[in-house]
């Protein structure tokens, strides 16, 4: 199931300890799907992921306008 990504959901994920939205999508994909992830060593994780990945740090997108989040979804299992 896919849930549209919103600022409210981002805040809830951060509160629950999630700090990464991991994605197999490219930054160029119009529709992007993310899986919330908890990473202990954020710097180590960031140094290893591919730049073309749509993976993001939750803290970095908390202040973006809702319209920027359009087309982005959480995968819920």
Residue-wise pLDDT tens digits, 22-69: 888 887 888 888 889 899 988 888 777 666 677 788 888 888 888 888
Within 10 A of 46 (CB to CB), how many other CB atoms are there? 12
Per-residue CA distances from 64 to 1, 10, 30, 58 (Å): 24, 11, 17, 11
Which pLDDT value is given to residue 15?
94
By C-alpha distance, which of 24, 15, 21, 37 is closest to 69? Answer: 21
Per-residue pLDDT at 17: 94
Token output for 47: 């140094």
Sequence ranges of the domains in the chain: 2-75
What span, in angstroms and rounded, lies between the C-alpha atoms of 8 and 24?
23
pTM of the model: 0.78
> pLDDT-based confidence at 11, cuts 50/70/90?
very high
């Amino acid at each position: 199931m896919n849930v549209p990504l919103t600022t409210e959901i981002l805040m809830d994920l951060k509160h629950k300890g999630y700090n990464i939205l991991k994605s197999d999508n490219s930054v160029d994909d119009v529709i992007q799907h993310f899986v919330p992830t908890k990473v202990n060593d954020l710097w180590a994780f960031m140094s290893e992921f591919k730049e073309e990945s749509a993976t993001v740090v939750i803290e970095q997108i908390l202040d973006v306008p809702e319209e920027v989040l359009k087309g982005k979804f959480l995968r819920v299992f």
